[in-house]
Amino acid sequence: MVTIASADRIAFKPNWWARAGWIALAVYIVYACSLLDFTWTRFMVGLDNGARFIGRMFPPNFSRWEILTKGLAESLEIAVLASALGILVSLPIGLLASRNLMPAWVTWPARMFIALCRSFHPVIVAIVFVKAIGFGALSGIAALTVASIGFIGKLFAEAIEEISLKQVEAVRATGASFMNVITYGVLPQVFGRFIGFGTYQLDSNLRNSTMVGIVGAGGIGGALFAAFQRFDYDFVCAMLLAIIFLIFVGEVIATRVRAIFLERGKVDEE
């Protein structure tokens, strides 16, 4: 039996790099707080203002419901169209980006494209599109489509990279064409997760579609921003309640869609 010298019997070796990292983080947090006037006094001053703001929000004012429903409908249209387009483009892009099925010279450009779509927040992309193709819903759809590709394109690719290649090998061995191998060997293995990602993206686009209007890319966001600036806080409150309702309905629909397509119950949450 080999005995270890008592000096070497260290059960838990200290990790000095990790300790230094924690200390640096703590120091930076204190520094950032002092720089940004992030103090309790400042918060209490703000609370006064907040109480007045909330007081003026109630009761919510639904008298301008035409503006509200028009904006809400446009947001819904933007979200659905952007999701549909985004998923449609993400399917081939995700496949091209999957390293287990495609050679490196194909996956690299596909991955670069996805990374590019992911680089900016949807609002920034929306500003770019508003400047490029003008105010309105088209810019919102374009911006959220880009965001969708960036998000689910990557998830699609990762899902495809996790499939069992044995099943693919068996389909390949039957002499099936490339497209048939995809339809029968790959798609069945990832379909459930694709439905999950798709409904999640619709959910996310619903939220984002209420926001791109702030920069003029259509939807209820424009009206919301205008109401804020005119201090019409009761109308703001009405719109916020409507948005909550929209998101809630979207959630219910997404759950139903998953239940229909995934007889095996729950999607594995990411």
Q: Is 167 in the site for other proteins (CB under 8 A)?
A: yes
Q: How far is the CB of 108 from other proteins (least distance, A)?
A: 23
What track of x and - describes contact with other proteins for positions 198 through 237 (by CB under 8 A)? ----------------------------------------
Please say whether the beta carbons of 67 and 181 come within 8 A: no
Pick from 39, 63, 69, 164 the residue near other proteins by CB under 8 A. 164
Alpha-carbon gap, residue 194 to 156, rounded angstroms: 7
In whole angstroms, the minimum distance from the beta carbon of 166 to other proteins comes to 4
The secondary structure of 67-135 as a DSSP string is HHHHHHHHHHHHHHHHHHHHHHHHHHHHHHH-TTTS-HHHHHHHHHHHHHHHSS-HHHHHHHHHHHH-S
Can residue 102 be called a binding residue for other proteins (CB under 8 A)? no
Q: How far is CA 36 from CA 25, 33, 42, 46, 207, in A?
A: 17, 5, 10, 15, 29
DSSP 194-207: HHHHHHHHHHHHHH
User: What minimum distance in Å lies between the beta carbon of 163 and other proteins?
Assistant: 10
Q: Within positions 174 to 203, which residues make up the interface with other proteins, using CB under 8 A?
A: 174-177, 179-181, 183-185, 188-189, 191-192
Nearest to 80 by CA among 264, 260, 257, 267: 257
Q: Which of 1, 7, 166, 229 binds other proteins (CB under 8 A)?
A: 166
Say which amino acid occupies 46.
Answer: G
Nearer to other proteins, 67 or 187 (CB): 187
Sign of the CA dihedral with 83 first, then 85, 88, and 90 last:
negative
Minimum CB–partner distance for residue 109 and other proteins (Å): 23
Sign of CA dihedral 229, 235, 237, 238: negative
Taking residues 118 to 157 in sequence order and writing x for each that binds other proteins by CB under 8 A, - otherwise, the string is: ----------------------------------------
109: contact with other proteins by CB under 8 A: no
Residue ranges that bind other proteins, judged by CB under 8 A: 164, 166-167, 169-177, 179-181, 183-185, 188-189, 191-192
